[in-house]
Amino acid sequence: MKQRIIELSYNNHEEMFNLPINPSEFEFSEAQNNQKITLLNIGEVNLIGHRGLVTGSLSSFFPALSSPLARYADREPMEYIRLLEKWKTSTQPIRVIISDCDFNLAMSIDKLTKKHREGDRDVYYTLELSEYRFLNVPAVQVEAQQQSDTSGLNSRPNTQTVPRSCTVVSGDCLWNIAKKYYGDGSQYTKIYEANKGTIGSNPNLIKPGQKLVIP
């Protein structure tokens, strides 16, 4: 009797099934998006980033209804395959739930590999999966421009930007400053180009008390 239940569902359980035959083993991994850089006066440092996506695969087979194992199946093997192919090309994620592993994730089907064996009506498959993150992008409201009562012309927006600045403190480097202001340390060259006169020829040599313009 199966102890573990692996459930695949689509569109909030509009369609779903449990794997009739569980994989003998499976593995999911989660990387951490750290970045190693080399600084002139320090050497190699490790910048800890955010976690990466969970990825992994499930490999097993769908038994033919004539198979002794078909008591766990509720449809023919190719019906399972056609449903997976439909989900894969729908541009929508599926949900993968593994009952005894505290695993419940929305995932994309990155690749579906199926295999047929001569004289065997079972269909073997490998499902490659990646975590899907739902993006909550805030809506931007655009207000209608007010017209001048005297001229009837739209008021012209002020597009002039006020440059930011920061004062270097002990332990600072351009990479960390770029990370703070841009969210991306590799943008440090923009800060260096705007402050060459202050920093000098070596972007790794910034001094406490220097005032830098953040373009």
Q: What is the CATH number of the domain that holds 181?
A: 3.10.350.10
For the stretch 24-33, pLDDT in tens is 999 999 988 8
Instruction: Based on the fold, state whether residues 122 and 192 are members of the same structural domain.
Output: no
Instruction: Based on the fold, state whether residues 196 and 116 are members of the same structural domain.
Output: no
Instruction: Let me know: does 168 contact 191? Beta carbons within 8 Å.
Output: no
How many CA atoms lie within 13 Å of 108's alpha carbon, on the beta-carbon side?
A: 12
Q: Is residue 137 part of a domain?
A: no
Q: Could you give the CA distance from residue 140 to residue 170 in angstroms, rounded to a whole number?
A: 39
* Residue where a domain terminates, one of 131, 150, 181: 131
Instruction: Based on the fold, state whether residues 126 and 47 are members of the same structural domain.
Output: yes
* pLDDT the model gives residue 156: 61
Q: Is residue 152 part of a domain?
A: no
Q: Could you give the CA distance from residue 10 to residue 76 in angstroms, rounded to a whole number?
A: 19
Q: Could you give the CA distance from residue 96 to residue 77 in angstroms, rounded to a whole number?
A: 19
Q: Is residue 126 part of a domain?
A: yes
Instruction: Based on the fold, state whether residues 18 and 111 are members of the same structural domain.
Output: yes
Instruction: Based on the fold, state whether residues 91 and 181 are members of the same structural domain.
Output: no
For the stretch 145-181, pLDDT in tens is 555 455 555 556 555 555 688 888 877 888 888 888 8
Q: Is the pLDDT of residue 144 over 80?
A: no
Q: Is residue 62 part of a domain?
A: yes
Instruction: Based on the fold, state whether residues 126 and 52 are members of the same structural domain.
Output: yes
Q: Could you give the CA distance from residue 96 to residue 62 in angstroms, rounded to a whole number?
A: 17
Instruction: Based on the fold, state whether residues 169 and 107 are members of the same structural domain.
Output: no
How is residue 68 annotated by DSSP? G
What's the pTM?
Answer: 0.58
Q: What domain range includes position 191?
A: 164-214
Q: Is residue 104 part of a domain?
A: yes
β-pairing verdict for 164-167 and 94-98: unpaired
Domain count, the chain: 2
Average pLDDT, integer, range 174-198: 85
Instruction: Based on the fold, state whether residues 99 and 179 are members of the same structural domain.
Output: no
How many CA atoms lie within 13 Å of 62's alpha carbon, on the beta-carbon side?
A: 23
Query: pLDDT confidence of 54, banded at 50, 70, 90?
Result: very high
Rg (CA), the chain: 28
